[in-house]
Every structure is written in structure tokens, then in C-alpha cells.
């Protein structure tokens, strides 16, 4: 471990190399054991070098943003978590375009767009993730998706080559993109928006924010929607119709306000959450013959019987 630490120190400041770091500090679920390393690069070149060290020394590695869609095992992660977040969050407005690094928050970007009187990104104001993750999974809400605003994406391929992809090359679908399928790492993206009225944009964002507050359990830690939307159905309604509203395993609970969310009532473990999600999957399949696919990502070791 000391040898790897010195290798990371060759290109990254020591205060951005965290050892045995509890992942509960880095996920919106507030759950997760320690990762061997949490690396917080501040440039695309540091990302490339971090991945290169991991690859050459056969160290498992995982890319994350602010941990808004992630459940980390109670045992943590034996490898390096490369976190693209606050140290890579620069965003600049140029006319109708916003160019931003992968770690920029969607909430911050939507606010920046509003301040520049640019419309098109209002839907993203309440999505808790970062730009990199949003591009990878084509995040969306309230009728808008990232594919509607993206002009180009700069990403790191598994080969170590940095590439640029136009919007028409991204092949974006529901929670999917060519970036995700090719396991590329988003480094930055350019969004093209439209001129608009600042006050109208502000009102639209406030209206969407109020809808989220009234419909989503924002007062509890969670990872957002626990399951993807099955074709022809809504996950939350299926879960509610299955009689699972408020169902608990330990301190993990199907939210009563919105059954599509699994919340941490205070001391939930990753095992609690996984067991609850498995129970939800089984019941929905038994009652409606519909398979629910997790939208939450799982990192670390989980029993094979779960999910």
C-alpha cells in the first residue's frame, strides 16, 4: 500500500489521497465501509494517471461523483475510488453554451444557466448528481433529459485515450449511453441551451423544486430512485400496489411519501438496503410478473442471494 501511495503522490497532492476512507462520508445514502483509497483528482490528466496506476498494478478502481446513486458495501471497497467532484467542477458560460467539468453539480449548473438567462436545463435543478454521472446514464426528470442539451462530451477510453464525442455519437436512451456501454470516463461536456427570460426560468425551477419537496422523501438520506422504470409501468406504483409502502428491513425503508425511494431512517446498513430491495423485487415479480432492475449502483461485496 505504501508503494501505491507514493505512486499516487507523484502526480496528486497528499491531501487528495485518502486512505481507509469511510464511504458513508461520500454517499447520499450515508452508508458504506472504508475504501482502500479515495483519490480526488483535480484535472483530466490526474484522472488519466490515476487510472493508469491502478491498471498497471491490477488495483480495482471505480469512478464516482458525489455518490448520489451509489450503495457501498458495509465492508467497504478493496481498491481505489476515483472521485470526480468538487476538485473538477469548473463551469464556464460562452454565449448559449456551458462547458463544465465532470464533477460540476447539476443543481449548480442549472443555477448558472438561469443566471445567464439560458433555458433548457431547468429539469436538472433538483437532480442530486454530477455532470459526469448524468451524461453517462442520460439522467432526466420532469420531461427533460441530458440528451436534450448535450452538444459534445470529452471522455477517457479504457485504452487511456482521450476522445471527443458529438451529441449524435452518444446514442443516448433511457438511463443509457454509448459512454456507459463503452465504460468511458466523462471528463467534461458542453451543453447548448437557448436564450430565455431569467424570471420565467427561476419560476419554473422553483415550481419543479416544490414538486420534488412535496413528492419525494428529501428529509431522509437515499440514493434517489431505487429502481429503473419498467417498460409500460412505474416502479413506485408497482411497489405501492404490492403493499410494500413503508416496508422495512432494519433502518432501511420503502419511503411512504414515494414508494420508488428506499430511505435510510438513521442507521441503515448496506445489507439492510440490499435485503429490502431484494424483497421488493421478489414481491413485485410474484404479484405482477414484472422484473424491477436497480437504478442504484452497488460497490463492494454483497451476498449472491441479493439482487
CATH code of residue 234: 3.90.78.10
Looking up residue 17, the CATH number of its domain turns out to be 3.30.43.10
116 assigned to some structural domain: yes
Spatial separation of the C-alpha atoms in residues 286 and 86, rounded to whole Å: 43
Of the candidates 61, 10, 9, 11, which has an alpha carbon nearest to the alpha carbon of residue 36? 61
Would strands 61-64 and 77-83 be described as parallel, antiparallel, or unpaired? Answer: parallel
Which of 51, 86, 121 is the last residue in one of the domains? 86
Give the single-character DSSP code of 161: -
| Secondary element (H or E) of residue 294 | none
* pLDDT on residue 303: 76
pTM of the complete model = 0.93
Domain final residue pick, 16, 51, 86: 86
Q: Is residue 228 part of a domain?
A: yes
- Residue among 163, 159, 156, 137 at smallest CA distance from 44: 156
Res 304: pLDDT: 66
Asked about 117 being catalytic, the answer comes back as no
Looking at residue 142, its pLDDT comes to 86
One of 175, 192, 202, 265 is an active-site residue; which one? Answer: 175
SS3 214: helix
222 assigned to active site: no
Burial of 58 (0-12, 13-18, 19+ CB in 10 A): exposed
| pLDDT at residue 307 is higher than 70 | no
**Residue 295 has which C-alpha cell?**
437504478
Please give the pLDDT value at position 306.
54
Helix-then-strand count for the chain, H and E: 8, 19
Could you tell me the pLDDT band of residue 12, with boundaries at 50, 70 and 90? Answer: very high
- Looking at per-residue pLDDT, the higher value among 100 and 211 belongs to 100
Average pLDDT, the chain: 95
pLDDT of residue 172: 93
Compute the distance between CA of residue 14 and CA of residue 258 in angstroms, rounded to an integer.
42
CA dihedral sign, ordered 164, 83, 129, 78: positive
Q: Coil, helix or strand for 297?
A: strand
The pLDDT of residue 1:
60
Length of the chain: 307
Percent of the chain with pLDDT over 70: 98
Q: Is residue 201 domain-shared with residue 93, that is, in the same domain?
A: yes
Residue 61 has pLDDT above 60, yes or no: yes
The model's pLDDT over 272-305, given as tens digits with 9 standing for 90+, comes to 999 999 999 999 999 999 999 999 999 999 876 5
pLDDT for the residue 143: 87
Report residue 13 as a C-alpha cell. Answer: 497532492
* DSSP helix/strand/coil, 248: strand
In the predicted structure, residue 10 carries a pLDDT above the cut 80: yes
d(CA 31, CA 72): 7
Block residue for cell numbers 429539469:
123
286 is catalytic: no
Report the CATH number at residue 159: 3.30.465.10
Residue 281 structural domain: 217-299
| Beta carbons of 56 and 101 less than 8 angstroms apart | no
In a domain, 138, yes or no: yes
Q: What is the mean pLDDT of residues 73-93?
A: 97
- Cβ-contact 248, 264 below 8 angstroms: no
- Give Cβ neighbours of residue 11 (< 8 Å, ≥ 6 apart): 45, 46, 49, 50
Residue among 89, 152, 222, 225 flagged as catalytic: 225
Nearest Cα residue to 183 out of 68, 298, 51: 51
Is residue 304 a part of any domain in this protein? Answer: no
Total domains, the chain: 3
Which pLDDT value is given to residue 305?
A: 55
Closest CA to 63 of 50, 78, 53: 50
Q: Give residue 75's pLDDT band: very low, low, confident or very high (50, 70, 90).
A: very high
Q: Tell me the C-alpha distance between 44 and 51, whole Å.
A: 11
d(CA 102, CA 106): 10
Specify whether 170 is located in the same domain as 98: yes
Section 174-183 average pLDDT: 92
Average pLDDT over residues 152-162: 94
Q: What pLDDT sits at residue 3?
A: 84
- Chain center to CA of 126: 13
**Measured between alpha carbons, how far is 163 from 141 in angstroms, rounded to an integer?**
28
Amino acid at each position: 500500500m505504501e508503494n501505491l501511495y507514493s505512486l499516487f503522490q507523484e502526480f496528486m497532492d497528499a491531501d487528495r489521497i485518502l486512505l481507509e476512507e469511510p464511504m458513508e462520508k461520500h454517499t447520499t445514502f450515508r452508508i458504506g465501509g472504508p475504501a482502500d483509497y479515495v483519490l480526488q483528482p483535480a484535472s483530466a490528466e490526474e484522472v488519466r494517471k490515476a487510472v493508469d496506476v491502478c491498471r498497471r498494478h491490477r488495483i480495482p478502481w471505480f469512478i464516482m461523483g458525489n455518490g448520489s446513486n451509489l450503495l457501498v458495501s458495509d465492508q467497504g471497497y478493496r481498491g481505489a475510488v476515483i472521485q470526480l467532484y468538487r476538485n473538477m467542477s469548473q463551469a464556464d458560460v460562452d454565449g448559449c453554451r456551458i462547458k463544465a467539468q465532470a464533477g460540476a453539480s447539476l443543481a449548480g449548473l442549472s443555477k448558472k444557466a438561469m443566471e445567464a438567462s439560458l433555458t433548457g436545463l431547468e429539469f436538472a435543478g433538483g437532480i442530486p448528481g454530477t455532470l459526469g454521472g448524468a451524461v453517462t446514464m442520460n439522467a432526466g426528470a420532469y420531461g427533460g433529459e441530458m440528451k436534450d442539451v448535450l452538444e459534445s462530451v470529452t471522455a477517457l477510453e479504457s485504452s487511456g485515450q482521450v476522445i471527443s464525442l458529438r451529441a449524435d455519437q452518444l446514442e443516448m436512451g433511457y438511463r443509457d449511453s454509448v459512454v456507459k456501454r463503452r465504460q468511458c470516463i466523462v471528463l467534461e461536456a458542453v451543453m447548448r441551451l437557448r436564450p430565455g427570460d431569467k424570471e420565467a426560468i427561476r419560476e419554473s425551477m422553483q415550481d419543479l423544486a416544490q414538486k420534488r419537496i412535496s413528492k419525494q422523501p428529501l428529509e431522509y438520506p437515499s440514493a434517489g430512485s431505487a429502481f429503473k422504470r419498467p417498460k409500460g409501468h412505474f416502479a413506485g406504483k408497482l411497489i405501492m400496489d404490492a403493499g410494500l409502502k413503508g416496508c422495512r428491513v432494519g433502518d432501511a425503508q420503502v419511503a411512504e411519501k414515494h414508494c420508488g425511494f428506499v430511505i435510510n431512517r438513521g442507521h441503515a446498513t448496506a445489507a439492510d438496503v440490499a435485503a429490502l430491495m431484494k424483497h421488493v423485487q421478489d414481491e413485485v415479480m410474484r404479484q405482477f410478473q414484472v422484473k424491477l432492475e436497480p437504478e442504484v449502483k452497488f460497490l463492494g461485496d454483497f451476498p449472491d442471494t441479493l439482487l
